[in-house]
Structure 1
Amino acid sequence: MFPYELVRLSDLENEVVITVLSPMGSPYWEARIEVSSTFVKGGTLLVLSPPKLDSWAKALDELDRGQDVVWMETDRGPTISIQLDGERDCPEVVVDDESLSMVTVRIPIALEEGWIDDQRNRLRRFNEEM
């Protein structure tokens, strides 16, 4: 099961991926967020928990209704924002690692139709296995 790609927001040039690396003891998982573009590459570790997974499911519902979201905002570790109408006429994913590296990266990603369903399926499969 591990590593497991929980989130993949990607086009041909830019991507944000969250991979669950291993269990850390019930009910926590070690994960890594990777940001990659033709300009910048980087990543950081984070801890996932059932409340974070539940908030991701709620964020996907909000995105499906056409609303921008902020995920993991009130927790230690990176915050992920998804803005559906970014400055470059496509969605933008903002990864803000204020608590550790103090770096913020804004990645425009031309997401394909059905991307929200893909994320829901990834989350559902992970929850079924855990």
Structure 2
Amino acid sequence: MSTADTHSLNPNGNGQGKYNEKLSQLKQYVSQSKYIEPLEQIKVCQSFGLPYLKNVFRDEYRKRFYDFLFENVTTCANVTKHTLIPQKYLCECKAYYENKKLLKVVGLGNCPVTNSKNVQFLSTNPRMWNDAFLLPNSSQLKMF
């Protein structure tokens, strides 16, 4: 076996350890970075010597969305404000977690970011799904 074979980044062949190391480095980089636009994601993967791994970015941004809504009952626009993940993408994340029964709309109210009326307030924290303080005029919502 040649040296070139042992350093291959093919995840299904030789050099799997090297591939996994680079994948781990990419995941760490993405987790510590602000939102990265899709065209930049390709370049980031290339800089690690990896093919475009869309799922690494998708999984990280879904996790950020989930974690933010576990700690905060709020709107998608407010999640965007704090995480910089585009609101359109968060709608996909919302559908993903709703389908898995891990997210609920817990109330309607005025969005703290856009001031739009009858906006959905979301939570991934089951302890928050039935709390009375989530009514639209609650002063607790104004903290966000």
In which range does the TM-score fall when normalised by the shorter chain?
A: under 0.3
Q: TM-score, normalised by structure 1?
A: 0.26
Select the structure that is richer in strand. Answer: 1
- TM normalised by structure 2 equals 0.24
Q: Greater helix percent: which structure?
A: 2
